[in-house]
Amino acid sequence: MTIDLKTVKHISKLSRISIEDEKAKKLAGDLNSIFEFIEKLNKLNTDKVEPLTSIAETTLKLRKDEVKSENIRDQILKNSPNENKDFFVVPKVVE
């Protein structure tokens, strides 16, 4: 399998990472060598193998359903890049 420029563009769109053509070309090369390496797995027959979905075979514990208010809204908003008092602000999404 080869990953062409079109595929790289498609993945970059799905990943929400914009890339220019120059960078996309280099990425295609990198990804191809990585996938060539990954595809070694195809040599292995796994038809009868159950996938490992959880490494820690434990059941989840229940906890009390309690509200713990730390009142840290201001501290959290401080990490947001836009100056705003009460909300996270993003570019307008509704006309």
Partner 1 sequence: MNNIISQSLTDLIKNIKDKKISSEEVTKSFIQRAEKSKKLNCYITEDFENAINKAKKFDKKPNYDSKLPGIPVAVKDLFCTRGLKTTAGSKILSNFVPTYESTVTQNMWSEGAIPLGKLNCDEFAMGSSNETSFFGNVQSPIDKNLVPGGSSGGSASAVAGQLSPITIGTDTGGSIRQPASFTGIVGLKPTYGSCSRYGIVAFASSLDQAGPMAQNVKDCALLQEVISTYDPKDSTSIDFKRSHYSEELTNNIKGKKIGIPKEYRVDDMPKEIEDLWQKGIQYVKDCGAETIDISLPHTSYALPAYYIVAPAEASSNLARYDGVKYGFRVKGENLIDMYEKTRSEGFGAEVQRRIMIGTYVLSSGYYDAYYLKAQKVRKLIKNDFDEVYKKVDAILTPSTPSSAFKIGEKTNDPVSMYLNDIFTVPVNLAGLPAISIPAGHDSKGYPLGLQIIGKAFDEQNILNIAFAMEEKINFKNKIADWWIK
Contacts of 23 (CB under 8 A, 6+ apart): none
Q: Which of residues 2, 21, 22, 63 is near partner 1 by CB under 8 A?
A: 63
Using CB under 8 A as the binding rule, whether residue 70 contacts partner 1 is answered as yes
Whether 41 and 73 have beta carbons less than 8 Å apart is answered as: no
Using CB under 8 A as the binding rule, whether residue 58 contacts partner 1 is answered as yes
> Distance between CA 16 and CA 81 in Å, rounded?
19
Q: Find the shortest distance in angstroms from Cβ 16 to partner 1.
A: 5
Q: Which of residues 18, 21, 69, 83 is near partner 1 by CB under 8 A?
A: 18
Q: Which of residues 2, 66, 69, 82 is near partner 1 by CB under 8 A?
A: 82
* CA distance readout (Å), 41 to 38, 49, 51, 60, 95: 6, 14, 14, 32, 49
> Distance between CA 12 and CA 25 in Å, rounded?
12
Residues that bind partner 1 (CB under 8 A): 3, 7-8, 11-12, 14-19, 27, 30-31, 33-35, 37-42, 44, 46, 49-56, 58, 60-61, 63, 70, 72, 75-76, 78-82, 88, 90-93
